[in-house]
Amino acid sequence: MVLEFSKKSVLRSFILVLAAFLLISIIVSPAAAADGGFIDKIYDTLIEDDRYQYLLTGLQNTLIITFFSLILGLVLGSLIAVVRTVHDMKGKLKLLNLIARGYLTVIRGTPVLIQLLIIYFVIFASVDVALVPVAIVAFGLNSAAYIAEIIRAGINSVPKGQFEAGSSLGLPFAITMITIIIPQAIKNILPALCNEGIVLLKETSISGYIGLVDLTKGGDIIRSQTFEAFIPYILVALIYLTVVVILTYFVKKLEVKLNAS
C-alpha cells in the first residue's frame, strides 16, 4: 500500500502539533501566555523568516531516511538470517556464516553514531554524494544487524515438525523454507519489525552530525538563529512523539489482527 501525503495534510498535521505545543507552553508558563509575550516569541522563533520550514524539511528527510533504511535493513537482514539459518540446520555456507557473524558482531558492538561518521568521513570521503543516501546506507546497515536476528528468531520459533513435514512431502529445503516456514515466521516477526522501525526513526536524530538537516537538526538551526532553545526543541520532541504514537497505534492494531488470525 502506497501512502500519499499532500502539502495540505502535512500543514494540517503541523498545525495540530503546534496546537499541542501551545497547550504545553500555557501549562508550563501561564503568565507568559496570558500577556501574549509567549505568542510573540513563538512568532519570532518559528514564523518570522519562515523558520518553520527547517522543521518541515527535517521531518521530510527523517521519514525518507527511516523508510528506505528499513527497506535496506530488511533486504540485507533477510539474507543474513537465511545464511545463518541454513548453516545452523544444514552445516552449509560456513564462509558466509563466518562473514555474517563478524558483521553482526561489529555492527551490534559499535555505536550507530560512529558507524555514520565512518561511512561519511572515511568510506565516502572522496566521493561527492548527497547526505540523505549516506544516512540511508549507514542506518540501513545498522538496522540489518538487528532485523537479521529478529527474522532468525522468527524462523526458529516455527516448530521443527514443520521442516519434517516438508521433507516427508518430498519438498527441497529451499521450497520448504519459502512455502511453509517463512509464512509462519512472518506472523511472529511483524510486530518486532514494526518496533524496529520506530527505534530507527528515533535513531535518525543523529543525522545532523554529518550536516544533514533532519528534524533534530532543523530545531537546532532555529535555536542557533534565534538563541531560543525551549520553543524549537520542545516542538521537535512533540513532532517525534506524534509520529511515534501514530506508528505505535498501527503496530498495536496489527498485533491484534495477527493474534486473532
Q: pLDDT tens digits for 210-261?
A: 999 999 999 999 999 999 888 899 889 989 988 988 888 888 888 788 777 6
Q: Is 170 left (phi over 0), alpha (psi -120 to 50) or beta?
A: left
Q: pLDDT tens digits for 119-149?
A: 999 999 888 889 999 999 999 999 999 999 9
Give the angle subtended at the CA of 20 by the CAs of 253 and 207, to the nearest 5°. 75
pLDDT at 19: 64
pLDDT grade for 155, boundaries at 50, 70 and 90: confident
Residues 187 and 154: their CA atoms lie apart, in Å, by 8
Burial class (CB in 10 A: 0-12, 13-18, 19+), 233: middle
3-class DSSP state of 129: coil
**Residues of the chain with pLDDT > 70: what percent?**
85
Q: Do the beta carbons of residue 48 and residue 183 sit within 8 Å?
A: no
The pTM for the full model equals: 0.83
CA dihedral 30, 34, 35, 38 (to 10 degrees): 60
The domains found in the chain, sorted by start residue, are: 60-198 (1.10.3720.10)
Of residues 234 and 18, the one with the higher pLDDT is 234
